[in-house]
Amino acid sequence: MKKLFFVSALSLFGCAAMAQDAVNKALVDGFRKDKEKSDKDASDPKASAKASFWLERAKLYENIALQGSEVDSSAAKTALEAYKKVVELDVTKKGEPGKSSKEATNVINGGEGTQLFNAFVKQGAEKYQAKNLSGALEMFQAAQEINKKDTLASLYGGIAAQQLDKKDIAKSSFEKYAANGGKDPSVFYGLAQLYRSENNFDKAIETLNNGLKQSPGNKDLKAEVVNILLASGKEDQAIQELEALAAADPKNTQNVVNLAILYDNMYRTATDKVKQLNAKVGSGNNAASTAEKNLASEKDKIAVYDGEVKRIGALIKKQPKNADLKRQLADVTAKKKESTEAIAKLEGEVKAAQEAAKGQDVAALQKELADAKAKQKEASEKAVANYKKALEIDATNYDALYNLGVFYFNEAVQLKGEVDNMNMTEYQQRGKEVEGRVCGKFKKAKPYFEKAIQAKDEAEAKDNLTNLNGVLEQFAAKGVACIEE
């Protein structure tokens, strides 16, 4: 943003410097002498009581500002003060403004053909060039007061204020620039950034849209609308805007990649939500079911232990002096006691889990889960479709290649989690088949990382490819056949 402003500002400052170089030394010397005389007369009661003196002084300082700033770098301010003095002194007996007063008023109000506005702008530019930002801002603000319909002083006043971190003044100046018909898109962009820094996202977007009315095809303004919508949490609206950008400029790879990234982010958010909802849905009924299974298992152990006690007891009757049988009986009796204590604890857990399940709105949770899965599926499909569309436009686009590789890699990791959570029975039934699909997804990611490295030699792609190759080697060592879908 600032860079765009500097380019515009330097063009003005350069003109000011060229004009100063052209000033004749004799003219400057004349200004200096006239200034000394005027300054002396300003303290003379007789001279300073005349409106004509102040009008002459105002014009002198105005000319110094326009043609000889080296005599007085703030001459425009003195000129304005002198013009105001003329208005004060030149009043007729009837209380009406005299001829000189009317002339001075016309200058102060930036009337047609007057030069005081230009004097302030020129000296403001010179102060800015000399890095006197406060002085420059003062000059530009005075110029704005003289000509309230101008865009030049409001533009450069905003720039100076922004450099001084006076955000309120900068916003006010840029708003005046826009209200007066300014069209420079960089100003609207910069003003939007000021509002964005305050989290005033609605005003930022309004500003960008105003800029787009002046420059309908400006890509930077359109892209920033999307960025601010994202920053304000309006992801769906951001996608709509970016869809429109991609449709209007179908060969713009970056728009398509950005759209894919938005869907990719939406997919990851939906995936996290699905995990959370699955856990929530299962936390009640599943917990109760698990507790009941554990309780039943412990009760089964009691039956086994009772059988062992009976069997060992019968043997001891036949061999009352057998120490090993007595030890076995003591071990079984101890284990039965542990199971009896465990049963009491599990019965409490079953009751608590059942009560927790009653408090859940299962139907609402299941609907929410179904909606999240639908959004997850849609976002996944659109992310992949747009990454591939970007590669149709530019087969060497690094971002599309790398992100698509990451997408398939992450899908493989998620599917692997399903295998990791299987018990032995489940794994024996379908574990190998799922592992094959996991391997297939990892393998699917590989060519995208390889092509990404060819497009741009980046460490992140290299590291991911190294990790991926290591994973595929582990699958090969286990004899897992990769199933590519």
Predicted pLDDT at 207:
95
How many C-beta neighbours within 10 Å does residue 31 have? Answer: 22
Q: Do 422 and 458 contact (CB within 8 A), yes or no?
A: no
Please measure the distance between the N-terminal and C-terminal CA atoms of the chain and give it in whole angstroms: 46
Q: Where does the pLDDT of residue 384 fall: very low under 50, low under 70, confident under 90, or very high at 90 and above?
A: very high
Vertex 121: Cα angle to 119 and 123 (nearest 5): 70
User: What is the percent of the chain where pLDDT is above 90?
Assistant: 48
Q: DSSP letter string over 314-340?
A: HHHHH-TT-HHHHHHHHHHHHHHHHHH
Give residue-wise pLDDT tens across range 252-293. Answer: 888 898 889 888 888 888 888 888 877 776 555 556 667 777
What is the distance between the alpha carbons of residues 485 and 482, in angstroms, rounded to a whole number? 10
Cα–Cα–Cα angle for 71, 73, 74, rounded to 5 degrees = 120
Rounded Cα distance, 483 and 485, in Å: 6
- How high does pLDDT run on average in the chain? 86
Q: What is the pLDDT of residue 398?
A: 93
Q: CA-to-CA distance for 322 and 188, rounded, in angstroms?
A: 98
171 by Cβ neighbours in 10 Å (0-12 / 13-18 / 19+) ranks as buried
pLDDT class of 360 with cuts at 50, 70, 90: low
Nearest to 226 by CA among 104, 358, 251, 252: 252
SS3 content of the chain, % helix, strand, coil (to 5): 80, 0, 15
- Judge whether 231 and 198 are in contact, CB under 8 Å: no
Closest CA to 106 of 140, 244, 98, 257: 98
Nearest alpha carbon to residue 111 among 81, 153, 149? 149
Q: For 450-485, what is each residue's pLDDT tens digit?
A: 999 999 989 999 999 999 999 999 989 988 888 887
Position 288 scores a pLDDT of 66
In order of 23, 29, 39, 355, 402, the CA distances from 26 in angstroms are 9, 5, 20, 100, 68
Position 210 pLDDT exceeds 60:
yes
- Where do runs of H (alpha helix) occur along 68-198? 75-89, 99-108, 116-129, 133-146, 152-163, 167-179, 185-197
Other C-beta atoms lying within 10 Å of the C-beta of residue 72? 19
pTM for the model stands at 0.61
Place of tokens 């890509």: 219
The pLDDT of residue 24 is above 90: no
Of 25 and 9, which is predicted with more confidence? 25
pLDDT at 463: 92
Tens digit of pLDDT for each residue in 310-350? 888 888 888 888 888 788 888 888 888 888 888 888 888 77
Please give the residue that has the higher pLDDT: either 338 or 128: 128
